[in-house]
A = this chain, B = another copy of it.
Amino acid sequence: MMPRHGRGWAMGRAQGQEDRHSPVIGSLLEPALLILVKGAPSHGYSLLSDLGKMGFSTIHPSVIYRTLRGMEDLGWIQSDWVTDQTQGPPRRTYHLTEKGEEALQFWKQELSRTNAIILQLLAKEESD
Protein backbone atom coordinates (compact mmCIF):
# COMPACT_ATOMS: atom_id res chain seq x y z
CA MET A 1 0.00 0.00 0.00
CA MET A 2 1.08 3.49 -0.87
CA PRO A 3 2.26 5.86 1.77
CA ARG A 4 -0.36 8.56 2.10
CA HIS A 5 2.01 11.46 1.79
CA GLY A 6 5.64 12.35 1.67
CA ARG A 7 8.08 9.57 1.02
CA GLY A 8 7.68 7.95 -2.32
CA TRP A 9 5.23 10.43 -3.68
CA ALA A 10 6.46 10.17 -7.26
CA MET A 11 5.64 6.47 -7.15
CA GLY A 12 1.96 7.01 -6.70
CA ARG A 13 1.92 9.41 -9.59
CA ALA A 14 3.50 6.84 -11.83
CA GLN A 15 0.67 4.47 -10.96
CA GLY A 16 -2.01 6.93 -11.94
CA GLN A 17 -2.85 8.81 -8.77
CA GLU A 18 -2.65 12.31 -10.21
CA ASP A 19 -4.83 13.68 -7.47
CA ARG A 20 -2.32 13.53 -4.67
CA HIS A 21 -0.06 16.46 -4.03
CA SER A 22 3.63 16.25 -3.41
CA PRO A 23 5.08 16.91 0.05
CA VAL A 24 6.54 20.18 -1.22
CA ILE A 25 3.10 21.60 -1.83
CA GLY A 26 2.02 20.78 1.69
CA SER A 27 5.07 22.48 3.11
CA LEU A 28 4.18 25.70 1.29
CA LEU A 29 0.70 25.91 2.78
CA GLU A 30 1.74 28.04 5.72
CA PRO A 31 3.48 30.83 3.80
CA ALA A 32 0.73 30.75 1.17
CA LEU A 33 -1.89 31.35 3.84
CA LEU A 34 0.15 34.15 5.40
CA ILE A 35 0.41 35.88 2.04
CA LEU A 36 -3.25 35.43 1.17
CA VAL A 37 -4.45 36.65 4.55
CA LYS A 38 -2.09 39.60 4.34
CA GLY A 39 -3.57 40.50 0.95
CA ALA A 40 -7.04 40.61 2.44
CA PRO A 41 -8.63 39.25 5.64
CA SER A 42 -10.45 36.10 4.72
CA HIS A 43 -12.08 32.93 6.00
CA GLY A 44 -11.25 29.27 5.51
CA TYR A 45 -13.75 28.45 2.82
CA SER A 46 -12.66 31.37 0.69
CA LEU A 47 -8.96 30.65 1.23
CA LEU A 48 -9.69 27.10 0.19
CA SER A 49 -10.75 28.22 -3.26
CA ASP A 50 -7.99 30.84 -3.55
CA LEU A 51 -5.45 28.15 -2.81
CA GLY A 52 -7.11 25.90 -5.36
CA LYS A 53 -6.48 28.46 -8.07
CA MET A 54 -2.85 28.72 -7.04
CA GLY A 55 -2.10 25.03 -7.39
CA PHE A 56 -3.03 23.73 -3.94
CA SER A 57 -6.22 22.11 -5.17
CA THR A 58 -5.54 18.68 -3.72
CA ILE A 59 -5.16 19.78 -0.11
CA HIS A 60 -8.03 18.53 2.02
CA PRO A 61 -10.20 21.27 3.55
CA SER A 62 -9.63 19.98 7.06
CA VAL A 63 -5.90 20.46 6.62
CA ILE A 64 -6.41 24.10 5.74
CA TYR A 65 -8.72 24.75 8.69
CA ARG A 66 -6.37 22.96 11.03
CA THR A 67 -3.41 24.94 9.74
CA LEU A 68 -5.27 28.20 10.23
CA ARG A 69 -6.07 27.27 13.83
CA GLY A 70 -2.45 26.36 14.38
CA MET A 71 -1.30 29.69 13.02
CA GLU A 72 -3.74 31.46 15.26
CA ASP A 73 -2.32 29.57 18.26
CA LEU A 74 1.09 30.87 17.22
CA GLY A 75 -0.26 34.41 17.16
CA TRP A 76 0.38 34.92 13.46
CA ILE A 77 -3.25 35.55 12.58
CA GLN A 78 -6.38 36.43 14.54
CA SER A 79 -9.97 35.53 13.86
CA ASP A 80 -13.37 37.10 14.38
CA TRP A 81 -16.74 35.57 13.73
CA VAL A 82 -18.63 37.25 10.95
CA THR A 83 -22.33 36.47 10.81
CA ASP A 84 -23.63 38.97 8.29
CA GLN A 85 -23.00 38.96 4.55
CA THR A 86 -22.62 35.20 4.61
CA GLN A 87 -24.42 32.78 2.34
CA GLY A 88 -24.33 30.11 4.95
CA PRO A 89 -23.23 29.66 8.53
CA PRO A 90 -21.02 32.24 10.28
CA ARG A 91 -17.48 32.61 9.03
CA ARG A 92 -14.31 32.73 11.03
CA THR A 93 -12.44 35.54 9.34
CA TYR A 94 -8.70 35.80 9.84
CA HIS A 95 -6.41 38.79 9.63
CA LEU A 96 -2.63 39.05 9.85
CA THR A 97 -0.96 40.19 13.07
CA GLU A 98 2.40 41.88 13.51
CA LYS A 99 3.85 38.59 14.63
CA GLY A 100 2.51 37.07 11.43
CA GLU A 101 4.16 39.79 9.41
CA GLU A 102 7.47 38.93 11.07
CA ALA A 103 7.02 35.25 10.34
CA LEU A 104 6.22 36.13 6.75
CA GLN A 105 9.53 37.95 6.41
CA PHE A 106 11.39 34.80 7.41
CA TRP A 107 9.27 32.79 5.05
CA LYS A 108 10.04 35.14 2.17
CA GLN A 109 13.73 34.57 2.62
CA GLU A 110 13.15 30.86 2.77
CA LEU A 111 11.06 30.90 -0.39
CA SER A 112 13.85 32.64 -2.26
CA ARG A 113 16.38 30.20 -0.91
CA THR A 114 14.17 27.30 -1.92
CA ASN A 115 13.82 28.72 -5.38
CA ALA A 116 17.59 28.84 -5.71
CA ILE A 117 17.98 25.26 -4.55
CA ILE A 118 15.38 24.00 -6.98
CA LEU A 119 17.01 25.78 -9.89
CA GLN A 120 20.33 24.32 -8.85
CA LEU A 121 18.86 20.82 -8.74
CA LEU A 122 17.22 21.16 -12.14
CA ALA A 123 20.43 22.52 -13.62
CA LYS A 124 22.45 19.67 -12.20
CA GLU A 125 20.06 17.10 -13.59
CA GLU A 126 20.21 18.71 -17.01
CA SER A 127 23.98 18.46 -17.06
CA ASP A 128 24.00 14.70 -16.48
* A interface residues with partner B (beta carbon < 8 Å): 6-11, 13-14, 22-28, 30-32, 35-36, 38-39, 54-55, 67, 70-71, 74, 76, 102-104, 106-108, 110-122, 124-125, 128
Please, which residues of chain B bring their CB within 8 A of the CB of A35?
A: 121, 124-125, 128
CB distance from A40 to the nearest CB of B (A): 9
Residues on B with C-beta less than 8 A from A120 are: 54-55
What is the count of identical protomers in the complex? 2
Contact A115 B118 (CB under 8 A): yes
Q: At the interface, is chain A mostly helix, strand, loop or mixed?
A: helix
Are A111 and B121 in touch, CB under 8 angstroms? Answer: yes
Give the residue among A9, A27, A55 with the most B Cβ atoms within 10 A: A27
Residue pair A125, B108 in contact (C-beta under 8 Å) = yes
Q: Which 9 A-B pairs have the closest CB atoms?
A: A10-B103, A23-B27, A10-B106, A24-B27, A27-B27, A13-B106, A35-B125, A22-B110, A24-B114
